[in-house]
Amino acid sequence: MSLLLLLGACYQLDGFFFNPTVVEAYTLGGDVIPTSCQELVSFDSPGGSLYGAWAHWPLDDATECVDTVPNHLVPLVLYFHGNSDNIDRYWDQVEFYWQSGYEVFIFDYGGYGRSWGEPSFDSVIADGRLAIDYVSGATGRPSHQLIYVGLSLGGFVSVHNLVDTPPGILITQDMFANTQKMLDDGTQLDMPSGWFFEQNYDNLVPLRAMPTEIPYLVTHGAADTYIQPEHAQLVFDAAGATTKRLFLVPGVDHADAIVEAPEVLRPEIDCWIRQDCVEG
């Protein structure tokens, strides 16, 4: 590729991070989570509304929900989804956590699903903060009583809210380290990421500044061909958490672990959330 073509490609790759699908209505699904336990909500953003969905855990050992109210007796997962489609694309991820006995809230960034706006570096971080504030206000649980789970781009959103609104537990799945590493992986050439990305999507910087008391679980598909597993090691090494663990899910590609290897991943996540892991 000539230098002219390289320079002509400048700032053309930022859109790589955002692949939304707009919908007039969400489908979700009631095969796993009863519809009585699902609640679609909206909350305010500076220009309009963002949409989210609750998967409530039933009260009093019931099999379905009588009222769509949060169950304060179970852990609460705030799920930050990846870069494609909308909430519907990630509902199986919500089902995974709900089946483990957790309250779950998932939301769409601006421009995704029914949420107002256009996604950008700054806007998705701000949307994440709005979701944190909404969940805290709706449940009375401050951020340090929440579990942040971020998948790929969602990891970026979650870690860039770590300092101002620290969670009780952080889990990232298949998250990239930064744009420089992604560019190196894709081109095998020594070129600065600033030639191709207008913003520096760097997750290592906020992780170095994260509060040390937040337990952090890094998971990644060991066969990930989209975001190579080497990113996970860089993420793990950078994290300032005193208690942290890196778990590579064998034989799994990008964002596939929960679907293809739930029996492998579930014990890792459950013991981390419940903080009762047994070594060995």
pLDDT at 186: 53
Task: State pLDDT tens for residues 150-206.
Answer: 999 999 999 999 999 999 999 999 999 988 777 765 544 454 444 455 567 899 999
CA–CA distance, 45 with 108 (Å, rounded to integer): 12
DSSP-derived letter for residue 150 is E
DSSP codes, 256-273:
-HHHH-HHHHHHHHHHHH
Task: State pLDDT tens for residues 61-81.
Answer: 888 998 888 999 999 999 999
> Tokens 């957790």 belong to which residue?
102
Structure tokens at 197: 């990305």
Task: State pLDDT tens for residues 19-43.
Answer: 999 999 999 988 999 999 999 999 9
4-14 core/surface letters (b: 16 or more CB in 10 A; e: else): eeeeeeeeebe
pLDDT at 279: 59
CA–CA distance, 82 with 98 (Å, rounded to integer): 18
Task: State pLDDT tens for residues 51-63.
Answer: 999 999 999 888 8
For the chain, which domains are there?
Answer: 3-19+36-274 (3.40.50.1820)
Structure tokens at 208: 């170095």
pLDDT at 49: 97
CA 72, distance to chain mean position in Å, is 22
pLDDT at 7: 37
pLDDT at 174: 97
Residue 126 clears pLDDT 80, i.e. is over it: yes
